[in-house]
Amino acid sequence: MAADPPADRLGVGIGWRSEIDLTVEHLPGVEFTEVVAEQVNPERVPESLRLMRERGIPVIPHGVALGLGGAERPDLARLDHLAAAAQALGSPLVSEHLAYVRSGDLEAGHLLPVPRTRDALSVIVENVRIALDCLPVPLALENVAALFGWPGDELTEAQFLGELVERTGVKLLIDVANLYTNQVNLGFDAVKALDALPLEHVAYVHVAGGHGHGDVWHDTHTASPPEEVLDLLAELCARHRPPGVLLEWDADYPSDAVLSEELDRIRAAMNRG
């Protein structure tokens, strides 16, 4: 197996999906990839991921169902699966969402924002500490896209994430497409958020496209990232160069040539920054 890049240098990557496994494996310039953790069987790693690992391309398990933003403690079986996926893939870190996803057996079916209150922060700090103790590699948490905000927030998203990092040592996965979504849908200033976030703790960055419907932006991961999202990436890079930037594309896949062009757009935005 080829040597992995340093932990602070992932480069530019694209999300691995079974529908485009060969594309991700062979696309020029892919320096790392990310796979949905819940779709990984640690005992039977897909062949294309195994071959990429043999070439020294890092593979990061990206969880969508752990639910660290809920009031209940993290499910140990889900944590065990995330840990097993990381070990099977030889991953440098794992990532998840800072989101509310279930209450008891009732699933939300979506990554919902958490209330940004002091009480909620205290609960989430304990949840994150439990997760960190169970995982064999560092954990990065992602900011989520929202269609609504909870009433009674006491902290901005940047303040909430900053305090969470300070109290737990968790890393961040900053999704600039989600920052843009929240700017359109909720009126938050995405550039001011970048100014307030602890960018030195960013493990990597997500970029994605979506679709607008009236005054609402839907972060669908099914289209080319708009220039506004790439401008936010450039703004982030101007403040702190992230270790890696990854393109998410989850359906309605374009040609390999188009995906390659999208990676070039990401590199150009990083260089502008």
Mean pLDDT is lowest, of 40-44, 100-104, 215-219, 236-240, for 100-104
Give CA–CA dist 143/68, Å, rounded: 12
Structure-token pair, residue 224: 């080319």
Provide mean pLDDT across the span 148-164: 93
**Does the structure show a pLDDT above 70 at 243?**
yes
- Cβ count within 10 A of residue 76: 10
Residue 2 lies in a domain: no
CATH number of residue 201's parent domain: 3.20.20.150
Provide mean pLDDT across the span 60-82: 94
Q: How far is CA 92 from CA 10, 101, 144, 167, 218, in A?
A: 10, 26, 22, 22, 31
Tell me the residue range of the domain where 60 lies.
11-272
Give CA–CA dist 222/209, Å, rounded: 6
Q: Which pLDDT belongs to residue 3?
A: 55
Provide mean pLDDT across the span 214-237: 95
What is the reported pTM?
A: 0.95
Burial label for 43, CB within 10 Å (0-12, 13-18, 19+), is: exposed
pLDDT tens-place string over residues 1-31:
555 655 579 999 999 999 999 999 999 999 9
- CA proximity to 246, closest of 60, 89, 88: 60
Residue 6 lies in a domain: no
Q: Which pLDDT belongs to residue 111?
A: 82
Q: H-helix or E-strand containing 180?
A: helix 176-186
Query: Maximum distance among all alpha carbons in the chain?
Result: 51
Residue 92 lies in a domain: yes
CB 70 within 8 A of CB 100: yes
pLDDT tens-place string over residues 161-213:
999 999 999 999 999 999 999 999 999 999 999 999 999 999 999 999 999 99
Residue 163 lies in a domain: yes
Q: What percent of the chain has pLDDT over 90?
A: 85
Q: How far is CA 10 from CA 97, 100, 136, 165, 251, in A?
A: 20, 28, 19, 21, 24
CB 136 within 8 A of CB 83: yes
Residue 122 lies in a domain: yes
Domain count, the chain: 1
Under DSSP, is residue 200 helix (H, G, I), strand (E, B) or coil? helix
Q: What percent of the chain has pLDDT over 70?
A: 95
Mean pLDDT is lowest, of 101-110, 165-174, 239-248, 263-272, for 101-110
Residue 214 lies in a domain: yes
pLDDT tens-place string over residues 102-120:
767 766 666 888 999 999 9
DSSP letters, 18-37, are GGGHHHHHH-TT--EEEEEG
Q: Which pLDDT belongs to residue 102?
A: 72
Structure-token pair, residue 206: 């997500």
Query: Which residue type does 189 have?
Result: D
Q: Which pLDDT belongs to residue 4?
A: 61
Give CA–CA dist 216/238, Å, rounded: 28
CA atoms within 13 A on the CB side of 11: 17
Mean pLDDT is lowest, of 7-11, 32-36, 128-132, for 7-11
Give CA–CA dist 146/149, Å, rounded: 7
**Does the structure show a pLDDT above 60 at 225?**
yes
Burial label for 251, CB within 10 Å (0-12, 13-18, 19+), is: exposed
Residue 59 lies in a domain: yes
CB 172 within 8 A of CB 202: yes
Q: Which pLDDT belongs to residue 101?
A: 78
Provide mean pLDDT across the span 56-80: 95
Q: What is the mean pLDDT of the chain?
A: 94
**Does the structure show a pLDDT above 80 at 124?**
yes
pLDDT tens-place string over residues 132-141:
999 999 999 9
Q: Which pLDDT belongs to residue 8?
A: 72
Residue 178 lies in a domain: yes
* Partners of 217 in beta bridges: 212
- CA proximity to 143, closest of 157, 131, 155: 157
Structure-token pair, residue 111: 């990554």
